[in-house]
Every structure is written in structure tokens, then in C-alpha cells.
């Protein structure tokens, strides 16, 4: 075998992509040719280094949440459409269309149930959906409550409770500022499996304690409650019992820490 013939197929040899008889020929040539054997070792080493050191990424939870959300849409089976270039303004436009659709649905749902703060429910659900778009979920990403809570200082007139709920199997993801019902509010993000939970909090002057209302729309569950002068909304596509469990864990942790 000539060296040039050997070099031509060395990659296939390293990748085990040859017939056994061809492999045998190469093996015999490598045993007698130091130059080709050096080339072979170089290739094998390079391949091994790549296998060993290249990063294998995990699909982020927020991507899984977006995909599950999209799969649940009734139009998920529509024939393929052309992908439109999504410049930032187009994303915003798309978001507002989505927000408009969902908002009206929530409005109807809320109107049917006679819930008072339906425009707030609109805002909360719209904000939750917006938060699942890439790069929108958190301004401060941290699983440590001692990083997330101080981040709100000076950014907003409220230091929201950020309890660690690891013991209840709800992971802290981070926090961000958001805009609900005409005011800046704190949004604290938790996750269970790949379901995101947004908890919105802002100060209230209302004296009524212990109000609690629940809304459900398109697979999203919303819980509203009031505690210690703070208005809370939690929203997620988590199933209802688990979201209730979350709210229970959250309220008991915030009450205990007082």
C-alpha cells in the first residue's frame, strides 16, 4: 500500500467506517510505516480530545416549557409556514398579538367567573408568557435567595420575600422587574421540573386580608392572594394541585420568616 492511499482513508479508519478487509490492509501498513502511524496517532488523539472536551449542552428548562406550550396549541399541526425573520420589533409585535389574544380570553374567563381584578389577571398572564421568550425570564439569575432578594433593593419600593423552597422541591431561578397594572412590580421565578412559576408582588393599601382567588385559562393557572400588605399573583402551566402546593409552601415560608 502506498502512503498517499493510506492517508486518504485514515479518517475512515479512525472512525471505523471501512470494510474489515480494508481495515486489515491499513493496520498492516501502519505497522510498517512510521510516518503514517504518526499521522494516525495525531488523528486519533484529536478525535479523542474533541469527544472528551466538547460541551454537550442541555436544553434549558425555559425552552422545554416553550415547546410544551407550543405543542399544546390547537394550531400546532397546521401545515408548515415560512419562518419570518424575527427582528426585535417583530418579536414585540408577535408578543403583543399573543398578549391580545390571551388577554381577551382571560377577560372572558374572568368575566364569567365575576373575578374583580380581571385586567390585572390579563397583565399577569401576558407577562408570564412574555417571560418565557428567550432572554426575558430573569434580570438576576440565581438559585440563591441571598442574591435575588437584595437585587430588588433600590430598583423597586418593595423588598419582596424570596423564600428558599428547595425542601418543597421548587427551585429558585431568579428575579426580574416587570410592569403590571401600571406599576413596576417584583417578579420572582421558581421552577418545578421544567415548569416555570412567576410570583408577582407589589405593596397594597387594601386592608382586606386572606382574599384568595383562582383563575384558569388555556392550561395556565393563576392564584391571587394578599398577605401582610403585599399583593401576590402566582402563575404557571403547572397543574393545579402542584401550583396550590407551591402557594402553600410560599405563604408558609413567608409567614414563618416574619
Contact residues for another protein, defined by CB under 8 A = 10-12, 15, 17, 38, 42-43, 45-47, 49-51, 53-60, 62-64, 66-67, 70-71, 76-80, 83, 85-87, 134-135
Query: Which is nearest to 141 in space by CA: 201, 69, 62, 64?
Result: 62
Q: What is the Cα–Cα distance from 219 to 132, expressed in whole angstroms?
A: 15
Task: Tell me whether residue 42 or residue 111 sits nearer to another protein (CB atom).
Answer: 42
Q: What is the Cα–Cα distance from 92 to 255, expressed in whole angstroms?
A: 38
- Distance in Å, CB of 194 to another protein, minimum: 10
Task: Tell me whether residue 90 or residue 248 sits nearer to another protein (CB atom).
Answer: 90
- Distance in Å, CB of 125 to another protein, minimum: 20
Task: Tell me whether residue 86 or residue 144 sits nearer to another protein (CB atom).
Answer: 86
- Distance in Å, CB of 80 to another protein, minimum: 5
Query: Which is nearest to 187 in space by CA: 224, 232, 253?
Result: 232
- Distance in Å, CB of 36 to another protein, minimum: 13
- Distance in Å, CB of 59 to another protein, minimum: 4
**Please, how many CA atoms are within 13 Å of residue 215, restricted to the half-sphere of its CB?**
29
Write out the three cell numbers for 105.
380570553
Tell me phi and psi for residue 30, to 5 degrees. Answer: -65, -35
- Distance in Å, CB of 124 to another protein, minimum: 23
Task: Tell me whether residue 56 or residue 207 sits nearer to another protein (CB atom).
Answer: 56
Q: Which contacts of 69-75 are long-range, i.e. CB under 8 A and separated by 24 or more positions?
A: 69/132, 69/219, 69/237, 72/218, 72/219
**Please, how many CA atoms are within 13 Å of residue 130, restricted to the half-sphere of its CB?**
22
Task: Tell me whether residue 19 or residue 256 sits nearer to another protein (CB atom).
Answer: 19
Task: Tell me whether residue 81 or residue 112 sits nearer to another protein (CB atom).
Answer: 81
Amino acid at each position: 500500500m502506498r502512503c498517499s492511499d493510506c492517508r486518504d482513508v485514515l479518517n475512515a479508519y479512525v472512525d471505523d467506517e471501512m470494510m474489515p478487509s480494508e481495515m486489515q490492509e491499513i493496520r498492516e501498513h501502519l505497522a510498517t510505516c512510521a510516518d503514517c502511524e504518526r499521522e494516525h496517532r495525531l488523528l486519533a488523539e484529536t478525535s479523542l480530545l474533541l469527544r472528551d472536551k466538547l460541551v454537550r449542552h442541555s436544553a434549558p428548562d425555559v425552552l422545554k416549557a416553550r415547546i410544551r406550550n407550543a405543542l399544546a396549541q390547537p394550531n400546532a399541526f397546521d401545515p408548515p409556514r415560512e419562518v419570518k425573520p424575527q427582528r426585535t420589533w417583530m418579536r414585540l409585535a408577535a408578543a403583543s398579538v399573543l398578549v391580545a389574544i390571551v388577554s381577551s380570553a382571560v377577560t372572558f374567563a374572568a368575566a364569567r367567573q365575576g373575578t374583580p381584578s380581571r385586567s390585572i389577571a390579563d397583565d399577569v398572564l401576558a407577562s408570564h408568557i412574555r417571560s418565557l421568550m428567550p432572554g426575558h425570564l430573569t434580570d438576576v439569575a440565581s438559585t440563591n435567595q441571598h442574591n435575588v432578594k437584595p437585587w430588588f433593593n433600590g430598583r423597586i419600593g418593595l423588598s419582596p420575600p424570596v423564600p428558599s423552597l428547595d425542601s418543597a422541591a421548587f427551585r429558585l431561578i431568579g428575579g426580574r422587574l416587570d410592569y403590571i397594572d401600571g406599576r413596576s412590580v417584583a417578579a420572582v421565578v421558581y421552577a418545578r421540573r421544567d415548569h416555570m412559576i412567576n410570583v408577582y408582588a407589589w405593596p397594597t393599601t387594601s386592608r382586606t386580608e386572606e382574599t384568595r382567588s383562582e383563575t384558569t385559562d388555556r392550561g395556565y393557572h393563576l392564584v391571587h392572594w394578599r398577605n401582610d400588605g403585599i399583593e401576590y399573583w402566582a402563575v404557571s402551566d403547572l397543574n393545579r394541585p402542584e401550583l396550590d402546593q407551591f402557594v402553600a409552601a410560599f405563604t408558609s415560608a413567608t409567614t414563618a420568616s416574619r
